[in-house]
Amino acid sequence: MYFILLIPFCFLLSNSSFGQSDTTEVEGKWILFGHESSDSLVDHKSYTGYHISYYRDSLKHSEGYYFDDQRTGVWIYYFEEGETKAMITYRNNKPYGLYKEYYQNGYLKDSSYLDGSLNKIINSCVRYYENGGVAFQASYNNNHKEEGTVLYYYENGQIEVDYNAKNGIPVGKMTRFSENGEIKEIVIFNEKGEVIKSIVDP
């Protein structure tokens, strides 16, 4: 018996473009200890200070603090129209801690806690629809695997899938619902995450 499990779509560091250089669209300006200077005039062995980069139309692209050439603390990224796109906490130049990504309409898109050294989610992850409703939520264990209740939602707010996970695999009962809340399917997993029973339209 085969079973296709929905894959969580929270933030993946390997696919993120935040913090990568973008020489075609972004121009930088440094504010070093309160003094502004252009990128071309900054010539130090290590950069320390507040950095602001801009799109070609002079609107902000990103801003945050460098210490010894490495991003640290909270960095803010912007859409080209000026709205906040993401707020990412860095440690040693890698996302570590609270990560928030936004839709252009201002609604939260993703809220996660990250361990940048391992490129993994830690603690929890919540993903949102563009209308502001929750799309997915789960908690994660010390191995950065789903642990406990995992929920997927329809855009109308109704739960779509509800199951328990143990170290990243579904165990016990999984329930699938229709958009109006009726049970569509019940799937029973063993401790290895293997399907042992499936009941459709119970």
CA distance 166 to 148: 6
DSSP secondary structure letters along 137-152: EEEB-TTS-B-EEEEE
pLDDT, averaged per 10 consecutive residues of the chain (202 residues), comes to 45 46 44 41 63 86 91 95 95 90 95 72 86 93 88 97 95 96 95 91 72
CA distance 72 to 67: 7
- Print burial letters for 146-167: b (CB count within 10 Å at least 16), e (below 16): bbeebebbbeeeeebbebebbe
CB atoms within 10 A of CB 51: 20
pLDDT digits (tens, 9 = 90+) for 143-191: 888 999 999 999 999 999 999 999 999 999 999 999 999 999 999 999 9
CA distance 87 to 85: 7
Q: DSSP class of residue 193?
A: S
pLDDT at 152: 97
The token pair at 27 is 């121009």
Dihedral over Cα of 198, 161, 13, 94: its sign: negative
Torsion angle, CA of 149/154/156/159, rounded to 10 degrees?
-30
Domains by residue range for the chain, with CATH: 46-132 (2.20.110), 142-201 (2.20.110.10)
